[in-house]
Amino acid sequence: MKTAAFADSRRSMSRWPSRWPLPCCGGSRAAGRAWAGEGRTMSAERSARRRQRSSQELIRPLEPRDREAVREIACRTAYRNRGAELLFEDLELHADYWTAYYTDHYPDESFVIEQDGQVTGYFFGCPDHAAFTRVMARRIVPRVVGKALWRLATRQYERPQTGRYLRHMILHGAREAPHLPYDRFPATFHCNILPGARGRGLYTTLVLAYLDRLEARGITGIHAHVTEPADSRGLWQRIARAVPEMRVAAYDERPTRLFLAVLGDETPMINRAWAFSLEDFRKGVLWLRERKGL
């Protein structure tokens, strides 16, 4: 565990107090009028209930002691909250792939939600796609793939879908990944919140603060990826339609046969990716806060 990285990151986190009580989760009525119309803003009663529920919730920087908690959340919330073991039984390696960059290499933009002393969610910010790709390619992916293949070869796995998952990802994963102009839209983030802590404005509170810090650094573009049923319009496509002022700067999609290959699930699935300016992305996040309370 590279605790020195956490110590070094404190300077870049000076904009956030070490333990930051959440503000009101209801959002501003001005933003509601701008993006959703006066009649669509949250009621005062709903906002009051959310303030009461979130009174014991804190957002604070990720600390070394949070490592196991965020790894567990990454596994529990995978594949639309069906759990990582749905496709891949090796929870250690699943957690390594999805969290090790942020916990072990770049914790500077990482935060957790703490409720009554328990971590119930995390936010991992990644301002530099190129740096992320270098660390993943050199330090994380080779180790994860090597361990997985060794464990497969030595028959340490019990579920047949694990072998099918590894085969598909190695042979087809790169081809099924969408591509964007990452040099123009280098920032992204990874956020997971346990179901019991959702719907309280936590997600948008974290994202909006992250956008503020990106703007302060002069970063102007952000991207997002999702895997979903092919007949779905896609979350950010729906938001862009609902918020005409929000423009999608770049988009790509690639069909994936992962679920068919591993589970025999014939539901057509697709990997989608979007890119936005920070200004346009902020409009969508404000809409989510006002309309959905996320």
pLDDT digits (tens, 9 = 90+) for 21-36: 332 233 332 233 333 3
* Cα→Cα distances 58→8, 70, 86, 102, 274, Å: 22, 15, 31, 20, 30
Q: Which helix (H) or strand (E) holds 125?
A: strand 118-126
CATH number for the domain that contains residue 97: 3.40.630.30
Question: In the prediction, which pLDDT does 157 show?
Answer: 98
**Mean pLDDT calculated for residue range 159-178:** 97
pLDDT digits (tens, 9 = 90+) for 226-243: 999 998 777 777 887 889
Question: In the prediction, which pLDDT does 61 show?
Answer: 98
Question: In the prediction, which pLDDT does 34 show?
Answer: 34
What total of structural domains would you count in the chain? 1
**Mean pLDDT calculated for residue range 144-151:** 98
pTM of the model as a whole:
0.80
Indicate the range of 161-165, 168-172, 204-208, 226-230 predicted with least confidence.
226-230
- Proportion of the chain in helix, strand, coil states, percent, rounded to 5: 50, 20, 30
Question: In the prediction, which pLDDT does 145 show?
Answer: 98
**Mean pLDDT calculated for residue range 75-103:** 97
Q: Which range of residues forms the domain containing residue 219?
A: 3-292
Average pLDDT of every residue of the chain: 85
User: Measuring CA to CA, which residue among 127, 87, 86, 148 is closest to residue 221?
Assistant: 127
CA distance 46 to 30: 17
Confidence grade of residue 8 (pLDDT, cut at 50, 70, 90): very low
Residues 6 or more apart from 242 whose CB is under 8 A from it?
Answer: 287, 291
